[in-house]
Amino acid sequence: MKIERIEAIPYSIPYTHPLRFASGEVHAAEHVLIRVHTDEGLVGTADAPPRPYTYGETQASIIAVVRDIFGPQLAGLDPLDREKAQQIMRRTIHNDTAKGAVDIALWDLIGQSLGTPVHQLLGGYADGMRVSHMLGFRPAAELLEEAQRFREQYGITTFKLKTGRRPLGLDVEAVHVLREGLGEEVEIYLDANRGWTANEALEVLRRTEGMGLTALEEPCDASEALSRRRLVQHSAIPIVGDESVPTPGDVSRELLSGGCNAICIKTARSGFTQATEILGLCTGLGVDVTMGNQIDTQIGSLATVTFGAAHEASQRRAGELSNFLDMADDLLAEPLVIRDGVIRVRETAGVGAVIDEDKLARYRQD
Ligand code: MUC
Ligand code: MG
């Protein structure tokens, strides 16, 4: 089996309401659908969600790097030669989301050609993951209403609260309102997307002590090296690296320099191959991981659960798998289902992301 060509299709699907956080906001999923075609007629599928304000990738940059660089360089390769594909893409630095999607599409082809679900090829540990729902910036009362609704409707009992606002009291109030309204049993953790300084983060941790928070993600820019190390040393809860650690090399640097002591893995930017390397690094060092969300569609969330459920260490914590619920529509032919707070992996060959072609025709922009 040989790779013939790689398609990169831009599309846009609106959100039912804007999702806001410290580093940006989204009103529509303006993503790129990646399709790797082979000479045997198999097609590998994945989703690339550009985050211009985080990684500098845009729809146009993803299309250009796939069309002009990765597509021609990978043509003729057997999708089973994963390490060759990795080495080819590694020559070009950055462009993590484009690389991640191509890698997932290649795994999809491998699974299809072997007639095996990819979650089994990766590790086959569990058949699903508990879901964590991400709450964007909103007034505290609306956040509580959203969390209660998601608990009732989907059985979700883990929430990631977007923070990083000033004055700090806004986020401190939101934590108190959520904890009082949701009770002790619900897990709450924070993600500031670099919105604070390390010292402001310490202040927030002081003002939320006793609230049972389980983690604080990307409190400040990782380049604030000394203050951030002080924060990590003084925090009673894990400080999670997210956008500071897109590659295994970044993970090593931040863990060894004390910039964080837990890692968010996102298949959207690491694919399955680099996510495996990052997970090995973390389990080897005894560091917790969370399966994060790059504001993924159902296609992206299916990839996250496929990887996350496959390994013991990545399914311990709830994975961020539900923000497709904020979208007005999706491209997946058979929608993902959240039942009793859990999303299950697909037992079909490959990853299982079959596209609804009518919807793709409606939302594609090329
Ligand atoms: C997160 O964990 O930071 C916000 C932007 C993005 O790319 O991912 C989200 C969630
Ligand atoms: Mg984050």
Q: Is 54 in the pocket of ligand 1 (CB under 6 A)?
A: yes
Q: Is 304 in the pocket of ligand 1 (CB under 6 A)?
A: no
CA of 298 to the centre of ligand 2 (A): 18
> Which pLDDT score, from 0 to 100, does residue 278 have?
98
Domain boundary residue, one of 88, 115, 142: 115
Work out the mean pLDDT of the chain and round it to a whole number: 98
Per-residue pLDDT tens over the stretch 301-336? 999 999 999 999 999 999 999 999 999 999 999 999
The owner of tokens 């082979």 is: 38
- Whether 24 is covered by a domain: the verdict is yes
Same domain, 142 and 289: yes
Same domain, 158 and 45: no
- Whether 357 is covered by a domain: the verdict is no
Same domain, 108 and 124: no
Same domain, 49 and 164: no
> What is the number of domains present in the chain?
2
Q: Which domain holds residue 310?
A: 120-344
> Which pLDDT score, from 0 to 100, does residue 255 have?
98
Which parts of the chain register pLDDT below 50? Answer: none
Phi-psi group of 115: left, alpha or beta (phi > 0 → left; psi -120 to 50 → alpha; rest → beta): left
162 flagged as catalytic: yes
Domain boundary residue, one of 115, 144, 159: 115
Q: Of 112, 294, 298, 315, which one is the catalytic site residue?
A: 294
242 flagged as catalytic: yes
What does pTM read for this prediction?
Answer: 0.98
